[in-house]
Each structure stands twice: as structure tokens, then as C-alpha cells.
Amino acid sequence: METHELIKALAADSRRTGVPMNTVWWGAVLIAIAIATTVFFALLGPRPDIASAAQTVRFLFKFLVTIALGASAFALLRMLSRPEADARGVLPCLAIAPALILAGVAIELIVSPAETWPARLVGTNSLVCLTFIPLIGIGPLALLLLALRHGAASHPTLAGAIAGLLAGGIAATLYASHCPDDSPLFVATWYTIAVAGLALLGTLGGRYVARW
Amino acid sequence: MNGADDGDLARLFRTALGGDEKAYGDFLHEAAALVRAWARRRIVFAGLDPEDIVQETLLAIHVKRHTWSNDRPVKPWLYAIARHKLVDAMRRHGRHARIELSEVENELATEETETARDWEIGRALETLTPGQRSVVTAISVEGRTIAETARSLDMKETAVRVALHRGLAAIARRFGRD
């Protein structure tokens, strides 16, 4: 088939265009949040003392970190789903959440006595954290990878990893309202491991699902 | 219109995406010319045909045209797709070249006597269902309209459109893969 013949066929198929990426991303992220919320309430639910916990800085700080992670990953993922995205220019915004948590850790180390550090780091709930953040995030990750497949990412592996971070951000935000361990030392350790697990899954998934 | 700047091309693409078949054809011709010139500068070894890259890029443009945001320049988007497809083709070719080095040599020896072009797209076309293949061939090679194709194949126009759409998507998916 000659190129001008191919163009005739493509032009004849001009009516059916794919759903615009903006719509796809907002739809995917809203449904992902809905899935994660459903799983969270079915399996865990918020901690009983959430009203009084919400008065404490440490509890609220967890949400600052997880929402910052989710929001920056979302912005990055939308950009990376376009073929012409320049990954180097946008990666710095990924540093926001790690910078926040590192600042939180530094402040925690200053304001709390050294002998309480191990207990704060180990917490009481690390296994629950490592189990449920991936469990809440896996459905959203699958959905986000499908949305990524609809796009045209020039770096599917990287984009898959970012999808994992977004799924992790959503799952960690919900999980944070359940977990009684509020120290930034705990968050920096266990949340990071759990979210990294989802990012790794996203990396592997993106490689296969988002090829085009 | 070879020297059309990005604004003109973007305007044409916007009109095309609004459902204007003629504008879409014009846009694809311009895109093909740009990618052809681009690919010829980059393909320096025998065995990889720039026209295969042009065709694969056009198919990718078609199935991924919703990833262009219409307030952005169109050429960076277009060349990014072409680069993605070229890298892909080189990777594939490299893999095959290692296995079939002697065959490539034979091919090079017989190249002067080649008559009809055997492009990658032909192989992808072979993998379609007979119905899809006859629709795609009627519209592309035979140059028929949707309505003429519907009459000659005794199908409804919507069925022709669906077969064309699915057939092209399948070609885009299978291009260059075996």
C-alpha cells in the first residue's frame, strides 16, 4: 500500500476520535479515588479517635505529604502521557513530597527526645501499613495504567512508575486516616516502602500496558 | 505548502479534528512530507525504509490524535511520534539483523531487480479479518468512498465505517510485529 493510499483510508476514518486526554485523566483519577475509598471503608475505615486526632499537627501533616505526592504525580502523569513530554523538565516537582517528609523528620528529631525515636519509627502498625496501602492502591493503579495506555507516552516505564506514585498517594491519603502512628519517622519509613512497592508495580505494568 | 509554519499546520489539524475529512487528508499529506524528510536524514543504514517509518507514524498519528492538545504546537508532537516509531523500528531491525545477516546480504544483492515495493504495512494488512481487509483495501488502494464501498461489498455504511476503524487500529497495533 502506497502512502497516499493509506492517507485515503485514514481520512475516511476521521469521524471517530478517541476521548480527549483531559477527560480521560480526570475521569480515571475520580474513579480511582472512588475505588480506593470503597476498598478502604470495606477493609479498614478511619480510626475511632479521628476527631481528636484531627486537632494534632502530626496527624494533619500526614495528609499534607500524601496529598502533595498524589497531586504532583497526577500533574506529571498527565504530562508524560503525551508523546512530546520532556521528562527532565518536570521531574523536579516530584521532589515536593520527599522534601516535605524530610523537613517533617528533621523537626520531629528536634522536638522529640532521642530515646523515643525508635518507638516512633517502629510504631504499632507497620505491617498493616505495608499490607493495606498496596491493597487499596492496586485497583487505582490498574485503572491509571489503562488511562496511560489510551495516551501515547514516550517513556512508558517512567510514566508507569508515576502512575504507581499517584495510586500510592491516593491509597496513603486514605490509609493515613486509619493509622494511629502519626510520627513523621513512621511515615517516612513505612509509607515510603509501601508506596515504592506500588511504583515498582507501575514500572513493570507501564512497560507492557502503555506500549504503543 | 511545504514551508507551512506550525500555526498553519495546527489550524489545519484543528479543522481536521472537527471532522473535516478533506482537511484531515491535507494535514496527513503535510505530516507525511515532514516525517519523510526527517526520517531520510536519520536512516543511514540499508534495510530500514524511511517510507515504512512514514506510514507507521501516520497510523500512530491517527490512532493517537486525541493526545494532541489543540492549544499546543503540532510539530513537536508529530516529531515525537516519529521518533518513537523510528526507535522502535531500529530496535526491531537490529534484532532481526542479528538473526538473518545472510538473508540481508542476499536481499542487498537482489535489490536492483526489485519490482514491487514490499512494505511493512502489507504484512500488517495480511493479518486483518477478510471483511476488514476488503474494506481497507477498497478505500485505500481502490480509492472508493465509504458509500461506494458499502454498495460494492453489500454492507451498511455504518458497518463499513466500523470495519475501517477497527481494521486501521489493528494495522497500527501490528505494524512491524510478527
Q: What ranges do the domains of chain B cover?
A: 1-112, 119-178
Q: B80 and A84: CB-CB below 8 Å? A: yes
Mean pLDDT of the region A66-95: 91
| Model confidence band, residue B4 (pLDDT cutoffs 50, 70, 90) | low
Identify the residue with better confidence: B102 or B69.
B69
Identify the residue with better confidence: A208 or B46.
A208
Whether B117 shows a pLDDT value over 70: the answer reads no
* Those residues with Cβ within 8 angstroms of residue A104's Cβ, 6 or more apart along the chain or in another chain: A61, A65, A184, A187, A188
Whether A117 shows a pLDDT value over 90: the answer reads yes
Q: What is the pLDDT of residue A130?
A: 94
Q: What is the pLDDT of residue B102?
A: 52
Supply the DSSP string of A153-181, one letter for each residue.
-SSHHHHHHHHHHHHHHHHHHHHHTT-S-
Q: B140 and A9: CB-CB below 8 Å? A: yes
Whether A94 shows a pLDDT value over 60: the answer reads yes
CB B68 within 8 A of CB B43: no
d(CA A166, CA A72): 8
Q: What is the pLDDT of residue B105?
A: 55
Residues B139-155 as b/e (b if ≥16 CB within 10 A, e otherwise) read bbeeebebeebbeeeeb
Q: B168 and A17: CB-CB below 8 Å? A: no
Q: What is the pLDDT of residue B19?
A: 87
Q: Report chain B residues whose CB lies below 8 A from the CB of A17.
A: 17, 65-66
Question: ipTM, 2 decimals?
Answer: 0.88
Q: Report chain A residues whose CB lies below 8 A from the CB of B161.
A: 13, 15-16
Identify the residue with better confidence: B176 or B125.
B125
Q: CATH top-level class for B1-112? A: mainly alpha
Whether A52 shows a pLDDT value over 70: the answer reads yes
Q: Where is average pLDDT lowest: A27-36, A52-61, B167-176?
A: B167-176
A164 CB neighbour count, 10 Å cutoff: 31
Span B119-178 CATH architecture: Orthogonal Bundle (1.10)
Whether B23 shows a pLDDT value over 90: the answer reads yes
Q: What is the pLDDT of chain B when averaged over all its residues? A: 84
Q: What is the pLDDT of chain A when averaged over all its residues? A: 94
| Model confidence band, residue B108 (pLDDT cutoffs 50, 70, 90) | low
Side-chain half-sphere of A40: how many Cα atoms within 13 Å? 25
How many angstroms separate the CA of residue A57 from the nearest CA in chain B? Answer: 41
